[in-house]
Homo-oligomer: A and B are copies of this chain.
C-alpha cells in the first residue's frame, strides 16, 4: 500500500489517497479527489495569476456588519454580522484586455441544470455585463457524472426569461452539451476554462450568439 500526499494550493484541501488496487475499482484519476468545486476554480485562477496568464479573483462574500469591538492593542473584532445576498456574480477579472465575469454552480442532477441555482439579480448582472461586451458565462459542474461545462450567459438568460412562459425550470443536459462547452478537467490548472474562451469567445464570434 502506497500513500501519496499532495499539497494543493492555498484554499484547497489536502488529501491522502491510496493507490492500492485492491480497494480501488476505478483507475487512479485526478477527478473527484476531495477538492471542492470552488477550491478547484480558485486553484485554476491562482495558476493563471502565477503564470501571468490572467487576473481573475473570487469576490469576498458580502457581509452586513452590525457591531464591531475595538479592543485595545489588538485587531477589531466583528461581533455581529449577517450574510448579504451578492448583487453580482462571484468571479471577475481580466484576460487579454477583456472583461471576464462568471458564476460557478454545482448540481447533483444528472440530466438537467435547475434554474433555481440563480437569483434574479445575478441574471440582471449578466445582462448588464453582456451589454458592455463583457465575456460572461457560468461554469457548471455535474458532480454525479463529474463533468464540467462552460455555458455562455446568453443561454442561461434565454432559459431564465422563458421559464415564465414555457414553465421549464431547468436547462436540459442535452442543451448544455450542444450550446455549452465541456471542459476536460486536468491537474494544474484543474479547470482550464480559458482554453474555451480562446477557442469560442475571444477569437470567434460565438460569444454574442451570432
Contacts and interface: CB of A to CB of B under 8 A. Distances in A.
Interface of A: 49, 52, 54-55, 57, 59-63, 75-84, 86-88, 92-101, 125, 128-129, 131-134
Contact of A55 (B57, B60, B97, B132): B132
A95 B132 contact: yes
A28 to B, nearest CB: 34
Interface of A is mostly: mixed
Taken together, the copies of this chain in the complex come to 2
Given A59-B60, A60-B60, A60-B62, A99 B94 contact: yes
Contact of A78 (B54, B55, B83, B133): B83
Contacts of A59: 59-60
Nearest to A74: B82
A59 to B, nearest CB: 5
Contacts of A54: 132
Contact of A134 (B63, B76, B94): B94
